[in-house]
């Protein structure tokens, strides 16, 4: 068994299994740390006026994207919201292409034309971040339908916030996904607030995963503090989609440390609340487990340095990259 919540414990297995779990957790930890450092650098550049438009940070929620995407194969599709940096980096998109996109540069993953909310890489089946709350859930159902229709084995993962589950599109998509047995995993990342509005002011039930019952869909609900636990839950849902062509509604209980976007000072919650949530921080937790499993402090520091170097390189690349040409802007402008 992989460690569950509570005190980290080393798996009671042979040396080979411990070695494999340690290697996996090292990889997942590095990706979570990369997302965090990438976004800290993005926040700094935004405050300096180097990045424009909107910027919604994922800091605090990293275990959700990283655990989830570690359960996927290259044949699977991902669709997300405007809070999409974590998904992109967890899917293996380069920090350079992502940072350049934030800077609006031609070398960005959407050629500088999408910005923070529209990270996209068709080669990795990262089918984009979307700004319309809930509007992307039917698109994800369509992708799952396409995989099934073409008799491909791909599964679609669709990420949204708990603020989207009262939107009609969410229910229409779930209804069809259940009716047509689509290989879709709908992932509600419940970070407790939709902008500044807490869940209890917009939803009549606190357990968001219960919404699946109306459609006869499988459901699951769990906390995203431990990335390996997140991965296990996703593996079950992805397997159900891939092998039985059945959808699942997952509620991932998480928390964002920063404001909704860079312009949000977060006055609707107390500093004590945020500090309390940080005590379950997913990156720190992974570090504790790794140390428990024999990874040294020096090794973790080396990971930190390599991540910082990768992010610094991405910032340099973005700053030195060219702006999109007038021809490109004209070609991609719909008028």
Query: Interface residues with ligand TPP (CB under 6 A)?
Result: 81, 83, 131-133, 160-164, 191, 193-195, 260
Cβ-in-10-Å burial (0-12, 13-18, 19+) of 54 comes to middle
Least separation in angstroms between residue 117's CB and ligand TPP is 9
Cβ-in-10-Å burial (0-12, 13-18, 19+) of 231 comes to buried
Least separation in angstroms between residue 70's CB and ligand TPP is 21
Choice between 63 and 290, CB closer to ligand TPP: 63
Choice between 57 and 283, CB closer to ligand TPP: 57
In 3D, which of 40, 17, 20, 31 has the Cα closest to residue 69?
31
Q: Which two tokens stand for residue 139?
A: 């698109």
Choice between 61 and 321, CB closer to ligand TPP: 61
Q: Is 160:131 a contact under the CB 8 Å cutoff?
A: no
CA 242 – CA 147 distance, rounded (Å): 10
CA 195 – CA 324 distance, rounded (Å): 32
**311 CA to centre of own chain:** 18
Least separation in angstroms between residue 223's CB and ligand TPP is 16
Choice between 160 and 250, CB closer to ligand TPP: 160
Q: Is 79:158 a contact under the CB 8 Å cutoff?
A: yes
Least separation in angstroms between residue 162's CB and ligand TPP is 5
Choice between 62 and 162, CB closer to ligand TPP: 162
Residue with the closest Cβ to ligand TPP?
Answer: 161
In 3D, which of 47, 87, 81 has the Cα closest to residue 63?
87
Least separation in angstroms between residue 87's CB and ligand TPP is 12
Rg (CA), the chain: 20
Least separation in angstroms between residue 262's CB and ligand TPP is 13
Least separation in angstroms between residue 318's CB and ligand TPP is 24
CA 196 – CA 67 distance, rounded (Å): 27
CA 189 – CA 198 distance, rounded (Å): 14
Choice between 85 and 125, CB closer to ligand TPP: 85
Choice between 240 and 256, CB closer to ligand TPP: 256
CA 126 – CA 86 distance, rounded (Å): 12
């Amino acid at each position: 068994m992989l460690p569950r919540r509570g005190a980290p414990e080393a798996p009671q297995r042979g040396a080979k299994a411990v070695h494999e779990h340690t290697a996996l957790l090292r990889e997942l930890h590095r990706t979570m740390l990369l997302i965090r450092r990438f976004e800290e650098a993005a926040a700094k550049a935004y405050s300096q006026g180097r990045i424009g438009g909107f910027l919604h940070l994922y800091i605090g929620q990293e275990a959700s994207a990283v655990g989830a995407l570690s359960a996927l194969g290259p044949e699977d599709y991902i669709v997300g919201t405007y809070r999409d940096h974590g998904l992109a980096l967890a899917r293996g998109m380069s920090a350079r292409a992502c940072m350049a996109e934030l800077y609006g540069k031609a070398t960005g993953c959407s050629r500088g034309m999408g910005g923070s909310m529209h990270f996209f890489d068709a080669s990795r089946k990262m089918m984009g971040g979307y700004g319309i709350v809930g509007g992307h859930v039917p698109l994800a159902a369509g992708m799952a339908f396409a995989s099934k229709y073409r008799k491909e084995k791909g599964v679609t993962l669709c990420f949204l916030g708990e603020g989207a589950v009262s939107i009609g599109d969410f229910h229409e998509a779930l209804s069809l996904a259940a009716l047509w047995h689509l290989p879709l995993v709908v992932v509600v990342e419940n970070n407790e607030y939709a902008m500044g509005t807490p869940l209890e002011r917009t939803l009549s039930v606190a357990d968001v995963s219960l919404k699946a019952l109306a459609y006869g869909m499988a459901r699951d609900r769990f906390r995203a503090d431990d990335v390996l636990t997140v991965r296990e839950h996703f593996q079950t849902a992805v397997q159900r989609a891939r092998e039985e062509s059945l959808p699942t509604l997952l509620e991932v209980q998480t928390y964002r440390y920063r404001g909704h976007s860079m312009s949000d000072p977060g006055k609707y919650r107390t500093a004590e609340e945020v500090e309390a949530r940080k005590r379950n921080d997913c990156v720190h937790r992974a570090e504790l487990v790794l140390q428990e499993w024999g990874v040294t402090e020096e090794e973790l520091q080396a990971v930190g340095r390599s991540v910082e170097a990768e992010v610094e390189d991405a910032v340099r690349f973005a700053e030195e990259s060219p702006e999109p040409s007038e021809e490109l802007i004209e070609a991609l402008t719909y008028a």
